[in-house]
Structure 1
Amino acid sequence: MSFSDFSILKLLANTVDILLVWFVIYKLITIVRGTKAVQLVKGIFVILLVKIISDTFHMQTLGWMMEQVLIWGFLAIAVIFQPELRRALEQLGRGRLFSRSGNQEGDDQEKMVESIIKAVDYMAKRRIGALISVERETGMGDYIETGIPLESKISSELLINIFIPNTPLHDGAVILQKNTVAAAACYLPLSESPFISKELGTRHRAALGISEVTDSLTVIVSEETGSVSLTKNGELHRDLKSEAFKELLTNELISQTNVKQPSSGIWNWRVKKNG
């Protein structure tokens, strides 16, 4: 083997090494996104930044403090996040940490959509107020923490029972995360848009508020009229009929390229027009 061949192999090995490291980092980011671990990662970056600054300017006391934080901090992380680390290792042992069946994910999305549609149809006919928010790319961990954790499989029966009046969890929003009911009785930020119609209540304002700060999809059932509305990207789509609601929900939550796109007339109902 010539020297040039050896250099090419070494370059190829280094390239693969770098790509694998970036892949692992990317997967770790996707795992912690939307969880309390995000704040932990931010804190670690701040500590590292302070450590670099202290070393650069020869701040011995501050540098020593940051060094002790780093040494003992990793031990504290292992203790505090022991359940999460154990779960990750279990998934790694099953080969599920970095991969998931695309068919399984599609089936889960279809079941979620079917459960939401069935529950919303039931509650709309009986004028049971409901607020259901579906997490997408932007994490909703901060809002999940404001509610009661459930971590349950999604079913229409569960969603209906949560919103039955005068029950402990009916007041607030249900947040769906990764095809599970993450939490109920959650607090969502209220929109301060001046274009919202005065006839809309707290549920609609909360649904608009969360759609302005995240890319979530939020469904509202009015307890006064039984009408179904949906918010997305700061837009409010009111009084959706059953078929239109089913079409919009399917197009947004089921990852299929051949799904029929919603009519532009429905999606152009912006908040200003509703006001």
Structure 2
Amino acid sequence: MSPWEIMTRYIGDLIDISIVSYIIYRLLVLLRGTRAIQLVQGIIVLIIFWVASRFLHLTTVRWLIQNLSSVGLLAVIIIFQPEIRKALEQLGRGGMFFNRKKQFQHKLVSKITTEISKAAAHLSKRQIGALIIIERKTGLSDYIETGILLEARLSAELLKNIFLPNTPLHDGAVIIRDGQIMAAGCYLPLSENPFISKELGTRHRAGLGLSEISDAVIVIVSEETGVISVVTHGKLDRGFNEEQLNLRLLEELKSPKKKSRWSTFWIREKEGTADE
């Protein structure tokens, strides 16, 4: 085999590996932040067990995994049907491989923090409950789909109107992505942490529940007391005014702190108590 053929084959193998690696990476990015990622982790664990059973000659374990894998492909297609459909839609739009990288630019961050702080301060004075979610790296598409899709430009006035009592969208959460209100009236998972204060109501439990499985920044206005809270990574801080909230959101969105999402839950009370 000539040196030219060897080089051509080497370059072809390199391109082949690069394409496959990128496809796998894009699929993982697509699944990140959804419930499907836990299923992917389970499949990886099964693969590790299967490899280990071959090296350690664990006949029974290998037999069990091989029999499970015979129906595994069909099960994966059924379980991942929404994600497969979303991937194909993005591929058709060219969005799976050429989507722009989400970046919180300075101007956009300032717009987000200002509008949310103004709305939260207004709602706090009138003791109107609110639950506002700011998406960061972890995708929240699963929860956006549970609400009413808006895809509207973020403004304090719109947030105030969404959370007005006795209006169709005032219950549930508002989810914000890249400076847009993606959806309102969204349902969030409630935290099952047994150490949460009994004084905290459904809004706070929902905010804490989402923060335990994502890196979202969550703003909560208590309906009972008007106290403004910020939740990140399972940690709840309370007692913000408009200026303090603006500074805290700027800090979180410009320089996200690297904390474990499974960090110990704790609450620092700044004033009063809260209930929904």
- Category of TM-score, reference length = shorter chain: 0.5 to 0.7
| 1:266 corresponding residue in structure 2 | none
d(CA) in 1 for partners of 2:76 and 2:193?
Answer: 39
Please state whether the residue corresponding to 1:271 is helix, strand or coil: strand
Higher helix share: 1
1:123 Cα deviation after fit: 1.5
Give 3-state SS (helix, strand or coil) of 1:119's partner: helix
2:273 is aligned with 1:271: no
Partner of 1:150: 148
More deviation in 45-54 or 128-137? Answer: 45-54
Question: Which residue pairs with 2:59 in the alignment?
Answer: 57
* Equivalent residue number for residue 95 of structure 2: 96
* 2:243 aligned residue: 243
Report percent identity of matched pairs.
Answer: 40
Partner of residue 191, structure 2:
189
Q: Are the equivalent residues in 1 in contact too, given 2:104–2:253 (CA < 8 A)?
A: no
Cα distance 1:93–1:225, how it changes in 2: closer, same or farther (>3 A)?
Answer: same
SS in 2 for 1:98: helix
Alignment CA distance shift 1:151-1:30 (3 Å): farther
Letter matched to residue 126 of structure 1 = R
Deviates more, 1:205-214 or 1:123-132: 205-214
Check if 1:69 corresponds to 2:71: yes
Per-residue displacement from partner, 1:241-272 (whole Å, max 9, x unpaired)?
2222122213322579xxxx9xxxxxxxx835
* Contact 1:129–1:220, Cα closer than 8 Å, also in 2: yes
Give the superposition deviation at 1:29.
0.5
Q: Is the 8 A contact 1:207 1:218 kept in 2?
A: yes
**C-alpha displacement at 1:128, in angstroms?**
0.8
Alignment CA distance shift 1:191-1:65 (3 Å): closer
Q: Determine if contact 1:173/1:188 at 8 Å carries over to the other structure.
A: no
Which position in structure 1 is the counterpart of 2:20?
Answer: 21
Counterpart of 1:186 in structure 2: which amino acid? L
| 1:131 corresponds to | 131
Task: For 1:73 and 1:199, locate their aligned partners in 2 and report how far apart those are by CA, in whole Å.
Answer: 43
- 2:31 matched residue in structure 1: 32
**3-state SS, counterpart of residue 25 of structure 1:** helix
Q: Which amino acid aligns with 1:29?
A: L
Query: What's the Cα RMSD here?
Result: 4.5
| Local SS of the residue matching 1:186 | coil
- In 2, are the aligned partners of 1:175 and 1:186 still within 8 Å (CA)? no
Q: 1:203 to 1:62 in 2, by over 3 A?
A: closer
Letter in 1 for 2:120: V
Decide whether the 8 Å contact of 1:151 with 1:183 is kept in 2: no
| Contact 2:123/2:226 (<8 A) preserved | yes
Deviations 1:200-236 (A, max 9, x none): 5554455445434542211111234433221223433
> Displacement, 1:170?
3.2
| Alignment check: 8 A CA contact 2:208 2:236 kept | yes
Deviates more, 1:113-122 or 1:219-228: 113-122
Q: Is the 8 A contact 1:110 1:254 kept in 2?
A: no
Instruction: Please state how far the C-alpha of 1:90 moved relative to its aligned partner.
Output: 4.0
Q: Taking structure 1 as the reference length, what is the TM-score of the superposition? A: 0.66
Mean Cα displacement is larger for which, 225-234 or 19-28? 225-234
**Structure 2: gaps of 5 or more residues:** 258-265, 272-276
**1:152 CA displacement:** 2.5
